[in-house]
Structure 1
């Protein structure tokens, strides 16, 4: 049998070395994060080895956005390196950018692969620094598209979308959102080769950043029926439907809603002890929403510079310093 030519042997060697390097990269990526996928038992988080997991977190929503531009990608590396140095282990960032400049989702179901690869990069870099990420799936506000962009897309396609809050009720907009959820959760990272739904770098999914429904200040649209005597609402259906849909694709990762912490007027909680903004017009109900099945933990978004007077003297009666 004739021996392979030098060029064939050289090509085979290059292919073998390439495969070995790719395997080594995957092994290194997989080895960086410690403890596997985080889960909740009762009121505590645990890693895959059964060890308690304490969150030391921060918020850097812009990781994908900055990583999409080679000239600013170093900001992602720098902030994750700083986070690790400070002992942080969880961060929250966007897995959406709907329409507009440097969009991930250009139009319903149409994606910019370059921007998606930027999110791949952010996940791999987070893993390298032993940092887990909460990935938020849409915004309540117009920043990075969000709920208003879905409503605009609906109107542009001839659907009757009376206001942005129709995002929670309109069947077409709900379907577009679910399609985005599926696209993100089932994506396979182009760098690590790991599907997002299997990636321990992801701490949890977030349904929507700071959901509000100001067209229904009562909170009933964004609540659900705990008892038969209470209202069944469209927001109940939205959160229950979307939470169940996320879990139908990914049963491994945790899920949270993304609420700020408004109790709403239904519970009769004094504003002195409630979230320190106007709680009567956001259309949210913190307690009822967080009791929905498939929601793993509750969140509060704290803005001390907006709601706490640092110059106020302690009240001798021991009452809360939050505004009444």
Structure 2
């Protein structure tokens, strides 16, 4: 991917006028000012992180300890899940937690309980009250939250639960974006969350969905959700307009991975065949440039997992460079944001292996700083010395607290990994200077 090629494509894309920055937002609310964020009339650039598991913690001290560690590292924004759902058939296990301790995870946070007619809301101590506590604790530590409404993937009851319950057997994943009954159910939950916290300056932004794609890890896509179909983009437009109708002040973003739909997408050789790169040919369903121009999408976000995306290229002895590919990906999104005139945030990124992290993260972080990213958020925060369940606590799927450590998917950066954490604390200091 060449910078000149990117610039040429962006020029052909044309100029999209960004929505004007709000001038009447309440005190303490972050808003946009061109390609920057603004807080009470001052620039707001930040270093952030991800901790989807925070509302799953039932121990208040663990929540506070996590935010305290984050604040000490210069973290200003944290992204977390505003959802978690179970099927009604799982509910008895939650209610018998003391009798069946291996199901203790079910007692944590499940705001939605699904059955044959839809879902019911759980506002109790193991429901939305846990998210309430995360919001209040974040405020105590001067940290703001990006709250995500649902998930493209199976984890914690995402879009496929809506599809399975409301559209029925045989429905494809992309029905989530087009079926009126599914959309109404999603909007009902969104309205619940937005109305609950829309007065809070602790909310940095609302996020429509984590990593929307035409397909999920369980359900396939239909032929209707194809490159150029606009299925995801039109859904982003519809839902961002809906959220704006509920909340005129908080910012809204997509939660997407940032895939492009280019007329001349990047290509690479694989098994003696020239293939187009799914991150640039629209195969996943996104069109980052078009979506960023939507009037109620206030800033752009993108994700970056080069090892995961290109396992066929990343092997010992290959000429593929994880580091170089990432630098180009960062540059492409920065150029797009400049053309559209909105802030850009690298919202998730990671590599596995401690040596990879210490070698690659400095160059990636420096490139985001050099290209004036308004926010830098790595995946994910790793917290030690958690006490819940004696420091050993299963959640769901493969997620768990093990010996007091928060869930480890290979990307987590723990507080004792100073060589890696220092990369981010230094970036936090630079972002803080830019906010002065």
Q: Deviations over 1:73-123 (max 9, x none)?
A: 433222211110001100100001122444211134511122200000000
Aligned length: 258
Partner of 2:44: 53
Partner of 1:173: 182
Does residue 251 of the first structure (1) align with residue 248 of the second (2)?
yes
More strand by share: 2
Quote the Cα distance in structure 1 between the aligned partners of 2:210 and 2:79: 10
Find the residue that maps to 1:99 and give its secondary structure. strand
Pair 1:277–1:268, CA change in 2 (3 A): closer
Q: Which of these residues, 39, 62, 65, is aligned with residue 31 of structure 2?
A: 39
Partner of 1:21: none
- The structural deviation recorded for 1:271 is 4.9
Q: TM-score, normalised by structure 1?
A: 0.71
Find the residue that maps to 2:37 and give its secondary structure. strand
Q: Which of these residues, 48, 70, 76, is aligned with residue 83 of structure 1?
A: 70
| Counterpart mapping for 1:87-98 below 5 A | 87-98=74-85
| Counterpart mapping for 1:145-224 below 5 A | 145-155=157-167, 162-187=171-196, 196-214=197-215, 215=221, 218-221=226-229, 223=230
- The structural deviation recorded for 1:154 is 0.7
Q: Deviations over 1:277-307 (max 9, x none)?
A: 7324312111112212200011011225546
Quote the Cα distance in structure 2 between the aligned partners of 1:137 and 1:105: 12
Q: TM-score, normalised by structure 2?
A: 0.54
- Which stretches in structure 2 are left out of the alignment for 5+ residues? 1-26, 88-105, 216-220, 269-275, 329-436
Pair 1:311–1:296, CA change in 2 (3 A): farther
Q: Deviations over 1:18-74 (max 9, x none)?
A: xxxxxxxxxxxxxxxxx6000001111000x200001110000111112xx34xx43
Partner of 2:154: 142
- The structural deviation recorded for 1:161 is 6.3
- Which stretches in structure 1 are left out of the alignment for 5+ residues? 1-34, 188-195, 224-233
Find the residue that maps to 1:200 and give its secondary structure. coil
Partner of 1:24: none
Q: Contact 2:306/2:325 (CA < 8 Å) preserved in 1? A: no
Does residue 321 of the first structure (1) align with residue 324 of the second (2)?
yes
Pair 1:240–1:161, CA change in 2 (3 A): farther
Compare relative contact order (CA 8 Å, sep 6+) and give the higher one, 1 or 2: 2
Quote the Cα distance in structure 2 between the aligned partners of 1:296 and 1:305: 29
Quote the Cα distance in structure 1 between the aligned partners of 2:183 and 2:76: 33
Q: Deviations over 1:126-155 (max 9, x none)?
A: 011110000000100110111111011114
Q: Contact 2:51/2:78 (CA < 8 Å) preserved in 1? A: yes
Quote the Cα distance in structure 2 between the aligned partners of 1:271 and 1:313: 16
Find the residue that maps to 2:257 and give its secondary structure. coil
- The structural deviation recorded for 1:322 is 2.0
Partner of 1:129: 141
Structure with max Cα Rg: 1
- The structural deviation recorded for 1:321 is 2.6
RMSD between aligned residues? 3.1
Pair 1:50–1:312, CA change in 2 (3 A): farther
Partner of 2:424: none
Quote the Cα distance in structure 1 between the aligned partners of 2:302 and 2:62: 27
Quote the Cα distance in structure 2 between the aligned partners of 1:271 and 1:92: 32
Quote the Cα distance in structure 2 between the aligned partners of 1:58 and 1:310: 28
Does residue 294 of the first structure (1) align with residue 286 of the second (2)?
no
- The structural deviation recorded for 1:310 is 11
Quote the Cα distance in structure 2 between the aligned partners of 1:289 and 1:142: 24
Q: Contact 1:55/1:90 (CA < 8 Å) preserved in 2? A: yes
